A and B are shown apart, each in its own frame.
Chain A
Amino acid sequence: MAGGRGIPDTTLDLQARINSMQAGTLDSRRLPTVPALAHILPGGGLQSGGSYTVRNSTTLAMALLAGPSSTGAWCSVIGMPDFSVEAAQGFGINLDRLILVPDPGSQWLTVTAALVDVVSIILTRAPDHLAPTEWARLKARLRQRGTALITLGNWKQSDSTLGVAESAWEGLGSGSGHLRARRLKITATQPSGRLRHAYVGLADLQDASPEASASTALAQTSFGPASTLFEPRLMKSS
């Protein structure tokens, strides 16, 4: 019995290694990405067929959806009843091509697999439990269909993990003003373990036009946190 159990384990282990190696050699088909995020993502943008985890920010996930959606791709949001369509439109996501499945119930995998066939990018809440074999099958399907999967939450099995490390808001005082602008430090962990980060403003994420925000984003990364206005107020995030 013990030997019998060992063989599938070895197979799974090997399969996982093959998968991780394949992830690095995906074909170079890239989905359009918001320029502010493009250069911290592995491969210089969202890869079709890739899987990404966004740790702690719906805003960041929306910014990832915005790039493909603004060029006419269909997007789907699964298992997120609190997703704000108004904010999504603010990011340039086309609501006519946004499919919401707020409550897939126990059929998360089936629904996700069905939508992988038809949409270009999927945003979903991380499932509570997914067997490694099921994940491998889903990943193969993603790669075959060229669909990108963005998972929100702590999900270790993705190609790349993004998160908001620091965040600062402008415009709010003690009892006065209102939230106006936000600055974020975004980190991206690559499969190799390398960490990249970028300082971006909320307005950069919302602006999907390439030339406008590319310059600002590049300037900010090359010179570090350029804005002196915010620098002292950047705070540690969860």
Chain B
Amino acid sequence: MTTPPPAASPPTEAAAGTAPATRTMMLWCPDWPITAALREHALPADTALVLVDRGEVFACSPAARQDGVRRGLRIREAQARSTGLVSLPYDPSLDERTFEPVTAAVETIMPGVQVIRPGLCAIRIKGPARYYGGERGAAGVVFRTLAAIGLTDLRIGIADGPFAAEQAARATDELEDDVEQLVVIPEGGSPWFLGSYPLEVLEQPKLTVLLKRLGIRSLADFAALDASDVRNRFGVEGALAHRRARGLDHRDVVARRPPPHLDATADFEPSLARIDQLAFAFRTRAGEFVDELREAGLVCTALQVRLHTESGEVSERQWRHPRWFDADDVVDRVRWQLQGTNASDHGLTSGITRVHLVPEIVEDLADHADGLWGTGPDEGIHHGLARVQSMLGHGAVLTGIIAGGRLLADRRVLIPWGDTPAQAPTARVRDRTQPWPGRLPGPAPATVFAAPLPAVVVDARGNPVDVDPRGLLTADPSFFSAGPHDDRRPVHSWAGPWPINERWWDPEGRVLNRFQLVDHSGSAWLLLLEDHAWWVEASYD
């Protein structure tokens, strides 16, 4: 064996020798995605539940596991193994959202929590152990605190370094069910504890395969190798894995800084029944909300408003802002939510007791700061339009986009100012790049009637014109009137019928015939014939 270059060796040894692993408590909630989904959807704990990610099982509940469901199975296979399986799509953000109260609860009793991933978090145990009288005492406090918020399946491992602590937490599987799920590895005992583990726990598949071929089966075998040799042969990754195997975890517990509390609530006692009362009473709180955000160096660009009523109803809606919310904008949104564009929008029947504001998207104030000479004309636009919106309501000031569709009215989609196209009702925004057979050729008409006008089309003898079941005209159109109060116009030239067959497989589908007519004065019209009735779709005025 060659002697390693002296320059490379001493620092490694020195670092290994002088930096002992941080004494760590690891909190582990097994199957956290499942726990989160059960809580979110209020399902009983013994449900056979799987979470599906891209057609494969991502996580399964204990009941499903008993039926033979495993991670990575295709969903059909899982359904075949377990009848009565409930499958839900996997939502990573749900995990984080539901784990947040757990972290917050732990932070109330001991500082310095590091969330490694939802369901797993690390705490430096030194301080809490001293305060609560020993490591077991501290763990007991954590058990009790989290049981109080309804989290019962919790495992705790205490060891030197996060890696050993995590393995200790997982080792609680070996314990009886009725004792505290706690494994404490005494100080300095980590190498001994980890020694019997297989190499797979390092989660480095390539290294594991290589070491196995070299005849190394357990972490103890791996730890027995010389550190400098491992570094030379396996590089930095290998050296780090080796340190972990020796119980000298290089990672420290990096405590998270609890996020500032940005929500705002206002309670009203007695409840308020009138919108103007509420707007007046809420104005101050809205101002404070915006000021708090500004002090944190943030601005809010998407806001969730929740209104609670006396009878327990909740009206919830997300509002976006083209720039960012100031106090007046917030009050406006609360008001619009109550006014609603239609009755089903909020459907509240009793007075408002509480308004809850949640900033959904916050951005750095610096990104939205006004320039020295203002931010150009757009700022004025937003203010002016916000004024009109506060006069007429959120849905009265619109921008238009062109969507796909055969009928012209379908192709025009109007979106309230400040909303994104994604927020428009999805059924109405159809892909424009699709071919849409039956759409109108030639120049687009300038006037498209939002509600088609009834029309009359007759032939030379005054009989109504229609299309027979074979799609042929009964007679050439000679006169027509567009709209109920229109004079009879002679037809100068015409074309049609152009059949439009929308969703023929669907009982809600429509069968129409479209015509272009030019009257004697040279104005062109677009007419529709549906179910023997004529309508004016558009006018080329």
Do residues B441 and A84 form an inter-chain contact, with CB atoms below 8 A? no
Q: How far is the CB of B151 from chain A (nearest CB, A)?
A: 49
A27 within 8 A of B: no
A86 x B402 contact (CB < 8 A): yes
CB of A114 to closest CB in B, whole Å:
5
Number of A-B contacts (CB under 8 A): 162
- Given A62-B446, A172-B516, A180-B442, A114–B495 Cβ distance below 8 Å? no
Contacts of A202 in B (CB 8 A): 443
Task: Give the contacting residue for B521; candidates A101, A172, A206, A236; CB below 8 A.
Answer: A236
In the assembly, what is the distance between CA of A103 and CA of B298, in Å?
Answer: 36
Indicate if the CB atoms of A99 and B385 lie closer than 8 Å: yes
CB contacts (< 8 Å) of A102 on chain B: these are 396, 398, 414, 450
* A183: nearest chain-B partner, CB-CB: B522
For chain A, residues 159 to 208, give those with C-beta under 8 angstroms from any C-beta of chain B. Answer: 166-169, 171-182, 202, 206
B541, A99: Cβ atoms under 8 Å? Answer: no
| Contact status A85-B381, CB under 8 Å | no
A107 contacts B392, C-beta separation under 8 Å = yes
Question: A155 interface residue, CB < 8 Å from B?
Answer: no
Task: Please determine whether B408 and A101 come into contact, CB atoms closer than 8 angstroms.
Answer: no
**Chain B hits for A138, CB < 8 A:** none
The reply on B384 being an interface residue by CB < 8 A is: yes
Residues of A within 8 A of B383 (CB): 118
Do the beta carbons of B444 and A111 come within 8 Å of each other? no
Given contacts A101-B398, A117-B380, A178-B441, contact A235 B541 (CB under 8 A): no
In the assembled complex, the Cα of A166 lies from the Cα of B397 at a distance in Å of 35
Contacts of B408 in A (CB 8 A): 84, 86
CB-based contact A182/B448 at 8 Å: no
Give min CB distance, A186 to chain B, whole Å.
Answer: 13
Chain A positions 50 through 70: 1 when the CB is less than 8 Å from some CB of chain B, otherwise 0? 000000111101100000000
Please report which residues of chain B, range 495-526, place their CB below 8 angstroms from some CB of chain A when the two chains form the complex.
495-496, 516, 518, 520-524
Complex Cα gap A114–B494 (Å): 44
Is B417 positioned at the interface, with any CB of A under 8 Å from its CB?
A: yes
Residue from B443, B448, B538, B540 having most chain A Cβ neighbours under 10 A: B443
Q: How many residues in B have their beta carbons less than 8 Å from beta carbons of A?
A: 50
A237 interface contact, C-beta 8 A: yes
A176 to B441, CA, bound (A): 13
Complex CA–CA separation, A173 to B496 (angstroms): 10
CB atoms of A179 and B524 under 8 A apart: yes
Which of B380, B391, B448, B522 is A111 in contact with, Cβ under 8 Å?
Answer: B391
A238 within 8 A of B: yes
A229–B527 alpha-carbon span in the complex (Å): 27
With A82-B447, A95-B402, A99-B399 as known contacts, state yes or no: A119 contacts B412, CB within 8 Å: no
> Closest 10 interchain pairs by CB?
A118-B384, A85-B400, A167-B522, A58-B446, A87-B444, A84-B448, A172-B493, A100-B398, A235-B522, A59-B446
Please name 14 pairs of A and B residues whose Cβ atoms are closer than 8 Å in the assembled complex, sorted by A: A74-B381, A83-B448, A84-B448, A86-B412, A86-B444, A99-B398, A101-B398, A102-B396, A107-B391, A115-B384, A172-B495, A172-B524, A175-B494, A182-B443
Which residues of B are interface residues toward A (Cβ below 8 A)?
377, 380-381, 383-385, 387-388, 391-392, 396-402, 408, 411-412, 414, 417, 441-450, 473, 476, 492-496, 516, 518, 520-524, 538-541
Given contacts A90-B443, A114-B387, A118-B377, 15 further A-B contacts (CB under 8 A): A74-B377, A84-B408, A84-B444, A101-B392, A101-B396, A114-B384, A166-B522, A167-B521, A169-B518, A172-B494, A179-B442, A179-B518, A182-B540, A234-B522, A237-B523
